[in-house]
């Protein structure tokens, strides 16, 4: 959470754009822009996954733990976007919130599918094994 906070506070997309426009071909600029946009999916999906890993250290995963992880991650996503409203060169964006939520939902689905439905795939085995390590 601290890494997300610091990144959203100190990152200035305008400075990166100036450097990229001057020194790189336009296609590279577009690809870097797409990557920055997709990072919303990754960073909040990863945050949700880390909360799940924390909850797995305290026993098996259940619906209550999943909901708590979802709520904490979603609330923090909103807090981070609100924080950006007050940071120079940043802004609050509903589109960014939607990307954050999509990332969280994708990881929620993958964890749920792997943990409960199929314990024979690598993610399911890892998640179930993580609980057993801390018993």
Residue 66 confidence (pLDDT): 94
Q: Identify the pLDDT of residue 46.
A: 94
- Determine the Cα–Cα distance for residues 48 and 70; give it in Å rounded to an integer: 7
CB 40 within 8 A of CB 95: no
- What are the pLDDT digits (tens) for 70-81? 999 999 999 988
- What is the H or E stretch that residue 25 is in? none
DSSP element (H, E) containing 62:
none
Q: What is the DSSP letter of 121?
A: S
Residue with tokens 């890892």, as numbered in its chain: 126
Give the span between the Cα atoms of 102 and 42, in whole angstroms: 10
Instruction: For the chain, give every domain's residue range.
Output: 2-133
User: In angstroms, rounded to a whole number, what is the distance separating the alpha carbons of residues 61 and 50?
Assistant: 13
117/73: higher pLDDT: 73
Three-class secondary structure of residue 24 per DSSP: coil
Which tens digit of pLDDT belongs to each residue from 11-67?
Answer: 655 656 555 556 667 676 677 677 777 887 889 999 999 999 999 998 888 999 999
Token representation of residue 10: 């100190």
Q: What is the per-residue pLDDT for 19?
A: 58
* Greater pLDDT, 16 or 128: 128
Q: Which residue has the higher pLDDT, 44 or 91?
A: 44
- The mean pLDDT of 84-110, rounded to a whole number, is 87
Of the two residues 59 and 87, the one the predictor is more confident about is 59
Q: Residue 121 is encoded by which pair of tokens?
A: 């795939």
pLDDT of residue 21: 57
Q: Are 100 and 44 in contact (CB under 8 A)?
A: yes
């Amino acid at each position: 959470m601290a890494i997300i906070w610091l990144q959203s506070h100190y990152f200035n997309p305008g400075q990166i754009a100036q450097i990229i426009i001057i020194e790189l071909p336009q296609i590279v600029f577009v690809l870097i822009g797409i990557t920055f946009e997709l990072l919303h999916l990754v960073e909040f999906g990863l945050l949700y996954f880390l909360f799940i890993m924390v909850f797995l250290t305290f026993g098996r995963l259940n619906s209550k733990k999943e909901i708590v992880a979802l709520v904490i991650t979603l609330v923090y996503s909103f807090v981070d976007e609100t924080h950006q409203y007050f940071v120079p060169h940043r802004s609050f964006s509903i589109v960014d919130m939607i990307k954050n939520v999509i990332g969280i939902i994708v990881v929620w689905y993958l964890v749920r599918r792997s943990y409960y439905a199929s314990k024979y795939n690598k993610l399911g085995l890892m998640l179930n094994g993580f609980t057993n390590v801390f018993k």
